[in-house]
A = this chain, B = another copy of it.
Amino acid sequence: MALANVSLQVLPLVDEKELYGVVDKVIEYIDSCGVKYEVGPMETTMEGELSRLLKIVEKAQNICVKYGASRVASVVKIDYKPSGITMEEKIGKYRK
């Protein structure tokens, strides 16, 4: 099973004071999924099997709604290669 990278930015339509709280709920959910992930300033990037990661992306929309969003816009980026891709190969040298 090859690893893909999928990053997710959720932009729930809520009052600005509630924005980070809703995003936190999504990150909490990602954390509960047991996939490798890294939180960044504009998106959270996950590493795992593509189909599983897209299921997480789907569920994240509902979490935003559950915590108060009237609507959710999301930006998802996929980095895919049959032999697999890791986050480490991309950022390892920048994190020493």
Instruction: Report which A residues bind B (CB closer than 8 A).
Output: 4-5, 7, 9, 11, 13, 16, 19-20, 27, 38-43, 45, 50-51, 54-55, 57-58, 61, 65, 70-82, 85, 87, 89-91, 94-95
Contacts and interface: CB of A to CB of B under 8 A. Distances in A.
Count identical subunits in the complex: 4
Contacts of A89: 20
A75 to B, nearest CB: 6
A55 B85 CA distance: 20
B72 A41 contact: no
Given A7-B42, A9-B73, A43-B77, 12 more contacts: A7-B43, A13-B19, A16-B70, A16-B71, A27-B94, A42-B45, A43-B43, A54-B54, A71-B81, A73-B79, A74-B80, A76-B78
A68 to B, nearest CB: 12
B5 A41 contact: yes
A74 B78 contact: yes
